Amino acid sequence: DFDESMGVKLHTIFCLDRSGRVYLEEKTNRTMSSWGRLYRSLRDAWPSENYRLGASLMRVEQDAHGVTAVFADGTRAQGDLLVGADGGRSTVREQLLPELKPQYAGYVAWRAMLDESEVPPDIRGEIFERYTFCLPEGELFLAYPVPGRNNETQVGRRAYNIVWYRPADPENTLPDLCTDATGLRHGTSIPPPLIRPDVLAGIKASARALVAPQLAEIFARAKQPFFQPIFDLESPRIVFGRVALLGDAAFVARPHVGAGVTKAALDAASLAAATSLAAATSKDDVAVGLARYEREQHPFGKGLVALGRQQEGAYLSAQLKPRAERRGGELKRDIQDVLLFHKTRSENLRKVLLAARASVP
């Protein structure tokens, strides 16, 4: 059940300029939660005997009679259907679509999380309970409160979340960010503790130079900022015999869409409904159910990826282009458009879902 413990309610969304002045403020009505809080609710509802921690999937085997998951410790799990809901770097998808790779969007999201008590009292009173934007040229900085360390939402026990989108070209900047102090490059990401001290010092200096002083001060107090490269991923198929891909394993839309958890939940609901209906009406229930699931959710996933490439996504990706080659929203952005996009994310999601459903025979 959804109650006040699920997140922190916000009633104001505003934007700060470089000097820290509020230059746009609007009313909103949203609840900010966290992955950990949602996970805990779902985990508590699942029987422990059906939840294995630390299991590493090696491969999937299937035939006309069933599907088997083979794990690194030699154990095997068999069933009629396997759901690959193992994220954007899905092992299941890698086996089924080895040629498909996430496409780098040209920018990263620097992230930081602080306890409410770590935010200076004067700044806390000014901005903590607001959804706050700052728009450095070519970048996007946003911050908001979420449940705290133990998923607590009481005043004083919450946390403050920061997301800062910055361009990072794939030839030079991203490789440098992903190189540790020993000179080892860690692909397109790096474990947070291995981010070099000079990189951390540099990003905090950039905050002081580019964003509102209130936000720069909070960011400077973050003990372990880290970054996530932003990717797009579109699977050409999401059903393979008795295997279905779900959530980020099927499609990865950019975070601006605000639909990561929602998409996975809608995928799961569609899969459950499609297989239940097929079981009641068809002898070949797995094949019929999965076919319906793919018809419903594949266009939905494609629509979300396309939505993520619009507005903020288009503007941020275009920062790596020469200015003469940029067009329309790639050249500039209007703060009203940015706020509108964030305020109407639920409506945008609903439109994508309705368009996808309309395409289902």
The residue among 231, 250, 273 that closes a domain is 231
Looking at the fold, whether 246 and 202 belong to one and the same domain comes out as: no
Tally of structural domains, the chain: 2
Other beta carbons within 10 Å of 158: 25
The number of CA neighbours under 13 Å toward the Cβ of 23 is 13
Per residue in 156-173, pLDDT tens? Answer: 999 999 999 999 999 999
Please state which of the ranges 94-108, 309-323, 337-351 shows the lowest mean pLDDT. Answer: 337-351
Percent of the chain with pLDDT over 90: 75
Say if 254 falls within a structural domain. Answer: yes
Say if 13 falls within a structural domain. Answer: no
Q: What is the per-residue pLDDT for 299?
A: 96
User: Average pLDDT over the chain, rounded to whole?
Assistant: 93
Name the token pair of 202. 């540099």
Per residue in 176-202, pLDDT tens? Answer: 999 999 999 999 999 999 999 999 999
Please state, in angstroms and rounded to a whole number, the distance separating the CA atoms of residues 35 and 37.
6
The residue among 205, 231, 257 that closes a domain is 231
* 359 or 24, higher pLDDT: 24
Please state, in angstroms and rounded to a whole number, the distance separating the CA atoms of residues 44 and 46.
6
Residue 248's domain comprises: 79-100+236-358
Is the per-residue pLDDT at 92 higher than 70?
A: yes
Q: Are 235 and 302 in contact (CB under 8 A)?
A: no
Say if 191 falls within a structural domain. Answer: yes
Looking at the fold, whether 130 and 226 belong to one and the same domain comes out as: yes
Per residue in 194-252, pLDDT tens? Answer: 999 999 999 999 999 999 999 999 999 999 999 999 999 999 999 999 999 999 999 99
Looking at the fold, whether 264 and 150 belong to one and the same domain comes out as: no
Please state, in angstroms and rounded to a whole number, the distance separating the CA atoms of residues 237 and 226.
33
Say if 282 falls within a structural domain. Answer: yes
Per residue in 14-60, pLDDT tens? Answer: 999 999 999 899 998 889 998 888 888 889 999 999 898 889 999 99
Looking at the fold, whether 107 and 220 belong to one and the same domain comes out as: yes
Question: Domain with 346 in it: what CATH number?
Answer: 3.50.50.60
Say if 291 falls within a structural domain. Answer: yes
Looking at the fold, whether 196 and 248 belong to one and the same domain comes out as: no
Q: What is the per-residue pLDDT for 2?
A: 63
Give me the mean pLDDT over the 282-297 stretch: 91
Say if 4 falls within a structural domain. Answer: no
The residue among 179, 210, 231 that closes a domain is 231
List helix spans (H) across 3-44: 35-44
